[in-house]
Amino acid sequence: MKPTYTPEGTIKILKDRLRVAEGELSIIKGIGINSPEMKEAKAKIESLDKQNGVLKTAIRKAVNQIHTLKYENDVLNRKIKIAEDWVGQLREVDL
């Protein structure tokens, strides 16, 4: 014969289980947050965040240098083209 459950009894059982589960979860979180492994992981994350910031800055500087060098290269190529045209014109005149 199956035991009969009343809705009130089932609710009480579920509330008790929930309370126990919440308590266990609280304990697990407390232990996890203060554990040496967690502290080490947090320190490593902070260190990596700092390194990430340094690398982002270095990359931005490198990209800016690349843009500057490309611009300077374009200017020099135009000057070379002008000089070549000028030399070509001088050769046509036979100077």
pLDDT tens digits, residue range 7-21? 888 888 899 999 999
The total number of structural domains in the chain stands at 2
63 and 86 part of one domain? yes
21 and 63 part of one domain? no
28 and 52 part of one domain? no
62 and 95 part of one domain? yes
Is 63 within the bounds of a domain? yes
Tell me how far apart the alpha carbons of residues 92 and 75 are, in angstroms, rounded to a whole number: 26
Tell me how far apart the alpha carbons of residues 21 and 24 are, in angstroms, rounded to a whole number: 5
Q: Show the domain range for 16.
A: 1-34
Tell me how far apart the alpha carbons of residues 34 and 18 are, in angstroms, rounded to a whole number: 24
Joined tokens for residue 23? 């308590």
Provide the 10 A C-beta neighbour count for residue 33.
Answer: 10
59 and 84 part of one domain? yes
Joined tokens for residue 57? 């800055």
Say if residues 38 and 32 touch (Cβ distance below 8 Å): yes
Is 39 within the bounds of a domain? no
86 and 61 part of one domain? yes
Give every residue of the chain whose pLDDT is below 50, as ranges.
none
